[in-house]
């Protein structure tokens, strides 16, 4: 149990993800003047918490075990897949959900029979900028964690 609690790589990656999620809520509060604490548990938005966690993971592996280690290689490849998925497949799914929600609303208006299934979740993926900010956030958290602890 002590080894798990002292695993700096693990805790740094988890902190980066949590910090990014908290930042989402704060950025919405600042930019839209809305208090939306439920966003802390949702995917999508600025910054990408998935990207922050995998960037922190890869950076910590590089700092602790060396940039030529298998640990860094595994984390870097894993991270690139996560970031590609966030800007590609998940982003496309969110865009498709947005179109389908619009179609359902139009169909409901035409039929006027109350046909309104639960809207699909639209905020699934990330823009390239959201992933880039998450990437920088994760690297920064990892470097600070490595220096301070």
pLDDT value at residue 50: 92
> Does 63 reside within a domain?
yes
Split at pLDDT 50, 70, 90, the class of 123 is: low
Q: Which of 24, 17, 30, 28 is nearest to 47 (CA)?
A: 24
Taking the C-alpha atoms of residue 128 and residue 51, their distance in angstroms, rounded to an integer, is 11
> Does 93 reside within a domain?
no
User: Model-level pTM?
Assistant: 0.74
> Does 118 reside within a domain?
no
Nearby residues of 119 by Cβ (< 8 Å), 6 or more positions away:
97, 101, 104
> Does 37 reside within a domain?
yes
> Does 17 reside within a domain?
yes
**pLDDT higher than threshold 90 for residue 113:** no
Taking the C-alpha atoms of residue 51 and residue 133, their distance in angstroms, rounded to an integer, is 9
> Does 95 reside within a domain?
no
- Select, from the ranges 44-53, 57-66, 79-88, the one with the highest average predicted confidence (pLDDT): 57-66
Q: Which is higher by pLDDT, 39 or 122?
A: 39
> Does 45 reside within a domain?
yes
> Does 116 reside within a domain?
no
pLDDT value at residue 54: 97
> pLDDT digit string (tens) for 78-102?
999 998 888 777 666 767 777 776 7
User: By percentage, how much of the chain surpasses pLDDT 90?
Assistant: 51
> Could you give the number of structural domains in the chain?
1
- Give the domain extent around 78: 2-88+125-148
């Amino acid at each position: 149990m002590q080894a798990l609690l002292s695993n700096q790589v693990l805790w740094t990656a988890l902190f980066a993800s949590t910090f990014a999620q908290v930042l989402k809520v704060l950025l919405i509060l600042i930019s839209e003047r809305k208090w939306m604490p439920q966003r802390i548990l949702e995917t999508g938005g600025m910054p990408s918490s998935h990207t922050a966690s995998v960037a922190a993971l890869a950076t910590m592996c590089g700092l602790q075990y060396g940039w030529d280690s298998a640990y860094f290689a595994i984390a870097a490849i894993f991270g690139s897949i996560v970031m590609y998925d966030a800007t590609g497949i998940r982003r496309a799914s969110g865009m498709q959900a947005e179109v389908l929600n619009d179609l359902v609303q139009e169909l409901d208006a035409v039929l006027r029979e109350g046909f309104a299934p639960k809207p699909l979740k639209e905020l699934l993926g990330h823009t390239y900028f959201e992933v880039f900010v998450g990437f920088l956030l994760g690297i920064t958290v990892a470097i600070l964690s490595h220096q301070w602890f």
